[in-house]
Amino acid sequence: MYIAIEGIDTAGKSTQIELLKKEFNAIFIKEPGFTSFGKKIREILLNEDISKKAELFLFLADRSETIEEVVKPNINKLIISDRSVISGIAYAMEFFDFDMLVNLNKFATDSIFPEFVIILKLEKEDLIYRLSQKEKDSIEKRGIEYLLKIQDNIIATCNRLEIPYLLLEASKNIEEINFRIKKAISGLIKRDN
């Protein structure tokens, strides 16, 4: 079972995934930059000012390699991913046509998309505060309103692709969010057994 944790930058994805690592015997992956090829791509993506099209193809190449190397061979195990095709479409749909992005992503992944998504949704005040606390990469430098739009896009993308999701308030405390995520994943595991 392939599950993704989604949310804009600073929503708390890595914090939650670190907790899940202690709680589930799963394969944990992340986008971009999980494979050794992907790590090289990630360096370019987060540091270089390249064209939107070139950026899109690098994210697709990274995703394609992760699906081929890790997801496909383990599709019957529990796979928990920090970001996925949902981010891929949600960030890019500010610049490109939605249906074209879906087709490109289907081609890149052989149509292997997460079957369930957990979305961490931040309030504007919390986003402003959390971003102020960190050094921003080139995507985060696009600003608060941009990231809030992407947050809406993440939810819209799950709806349009008809991928079931759990929407959680990212401003709640870490333990409560962890409790809800654990409950959702345990429920999915039980359903499949």
Ligand X SMILES: Nc1ncnc2c1ncn2[C@@H]1O[C@H](COP(=O)(O)OP(=O)(O)O)[C@@H](O)[C@H]1O
Ligand Y SMILES: Cc1cn([C@H]2C[C@H](O)[C@@H](COP(=O)(O)OP(=O)(O)O)O2)c(=O)[nH]c1=O
Binding site for ligand X (CB under 6 A): 7, 9-15, 130, 133, 173-174, 177
Torsion of CA 40, 46, 52, 55, to 10 degrees: 20
Smallest gap from Cβ 75 to ligand X, in A, equals 25
Residues 148 and 124: beta-carbon distance below 8 Å: yes
Binding status of residue 6 toward ligand Y by CB under 6 A = no
CA distance 104 to 57: 9
Residues 56 and 4: beta-carbon distance below 8 Å: no
Binding status of residue 47 toward ligand Y by CB under 6 A = no
In the set 2, 3, 9, 157, which binds ligand Y (CB under 6 A)?
9
Q: Which is nearer to ligand Y, 45 or 78 (CB)?
A: 45
In the set 2, 34, 91, 165, which binds ligand Y (CB under 6 A)?
91
Structure-token pair, residue 106: 């289907």
Beta bridge partners of 79: 2, 27
Q: Binding partner of residue 91 among ligand X, ligand Y, none, CB under 5 to 8 Å per kind?
A: ligand Y
Q: Which is nearer to ligand X, 7 or 104 (CB)?
A: 7
Instruction: Kindly report the backbone phi and psi dihedral angles of residue 129, in degrees, each rounded to the nearest multiple of 5, phi listed first.
Output: -65, -50
Q: Which is nearer to ligand X, 46 or 174 (CB)?
A: 174
CA distance 177 to 172: 7
Smallest gap from Cβ 168 to ligand Y, in A, equals 16
Residue 11 annotated as lining a ligand binding site? yes
Binding site members for ATP: 7-14
